[in-house]
Amino acid sequence: MNDINDHTGESGGYIPGSDGKRAFVLTGITQTPLPVLISVPHAGRDYPEQLLAKMRRSAQTTLRLEDRYVDLIGRTVAEQTGAALLWAYAPRAMIDLNRATDDMDWSMVSGGARDEARHSLANRRSRSGLGLVPRRLAGIGEIWSGPIERAELDSRIADIHQPYHAALGRSLDLIRDRWGAALLIDLHSMPPLRPRHPGERTAEFVIGDRFGASCDPGIVATALDYFGQHGRLVAHNRPYAGGYVLDRHALPARGIHAIQIEICRSSYLDSHLSEPSVRMNGVARLVAGLVSQLAGQIAELGRGSAIPLAAE
């Protein structure tokens, strides 16, 4: 499957060590008939050879780190609904776009950290091994054969992380200014959740809204009800409440709402959680229906908003 740079749209950033390949692509922002932007930060799989050469057990590690092929769902949803779409080609192994730039395990960086960053409370996720540059995975251990140079980390931030979030922020502002409100859907996938009791069914979808901080509660309630009405088990904020993307870009008081949607990989991948299954199209149609429903609700919020538009 050749899915690298096979797009029409605005591409941006570039992947260090890849001979100029773009880090992400943005489509539909100028023509979208909906006040919705879908972002897919964790499905990138354009791995430079020099990155793979530094990785231990690269085949297993990349499979575990990726939100495997959830970008294909995002693209199908965008095609069916007209929603704008931003997705990363740069892999999460290189830099995690759902982490702050100071959420880093600085002990893995040759050249050290800024003094103010080394002991920052913001690097809490990196302590689990999954910071700005992932360091270790359960069952695999250390991901890298050696430290990362500080200059290399700085390049990844400047060439991937900063332009991605700049594009995301600009796009949400454009949608909000046009419609009065905007909805960001940060699309992810998750490994199957573990049942707490034998025989218990676990959620196929998790809606995260930073425990109410990132989105109008009516939007979240609609999303939860929608999956329930379609016979799909859904959870709210547990175990995934959303991350840096929502923290940075959601501004409900200014008309920019954001939710994270996690989709269980077993619902659209094969039994090895490696390749798309015949169920993928059905999951994409289901999510597309949700996007269309939420778009109408966001448009209503925008029509009732007193937020001044940029053109005014």
Compute how many other C-beta atoms are within 10 angstroms of the C-beta atom of residue 236. Answer: 18
Closest CA to 131 of 140, 115, 120, 116: 120
Q: Is the pLDDT of residue 115 over 80?
A: no
Question: For the segment 282-299, what is each residue's pLDDT rounded down to a tens digit?
Answer: 999 999 999 999 999 999
pLDDT confidence tier of residue 196, bands split at 50, 70 and 90: confident
What's the pLDDT score for residue 1? 31
Question: For the segment 18-67, what is each residue's pLDDT rounded down to a tens digit?
Answer: 988 999 999 999 888 999 999 999 999 999 999 999 999 999 999 999 99
Decide: 209 and 237 in contact? Cβ < 8 Å: yes
Decide: 294 and 222 in contact? Cβ < 8 Å: yes
- Residue 92: CA count within 13 A, CB half-sphere: 25
What gap in Å lies between CA 102 and CA 2, rounded to an integer? 34
- Tokens standing for 271? 């039994």
DSSP 194: P
pLDDT confidence tier of residue 264, bands split at 50, 70 and 90: very high
Query: The tokens 């692509």 sit on which residue?
Result: 25
* C-alpha distance across the termini of the chain, in Å: 46
Give, in order, the Cα–Cα distances in Å from 199 to each of 15, 153, 194: 44, 45, 11
What's the pLDDT score for residue 11? 83
What gap in Å lies between CA 17 and CA 19, rounded to an integer? 6
What gap in Å lies between CA 274 and CA 157, rounded to an integer? 29
Question: For the segment 154-186, what is each residue's pLDDT rounded down to a tens digit?
Answer: 999 999 999 999 999 999 999 999 999 999 999
Average pLDDT of the residues of the chain = 91
pLDDT confidence tier of residue 116, bands split at 50, 70 and 90: very low
Which amino acid is located at 103 in the chain? D
What gap in Å lies between CA 259 and CA 215, rounded to an integer? 7
Compute how many other C-beta atoms are within 10 angstroms of the C-beta atom of residue 60. Answer: 13
Task: Average the pLDDT over 61-75 and give the result.
Answer: 97
What's the pLDDT score for residue 16? 95
What gap in Å lies between CA 173 and CA 164, rounded to an integer? 14
What gap in Å lies between CA 71 and CA 59, rounded to an integer? 19
Q: Is the pLDDT of residue 120 over 80?
A: no
- Tokens standing for 197? 């009791």
Which amino acid is located at 79 in the chain? E
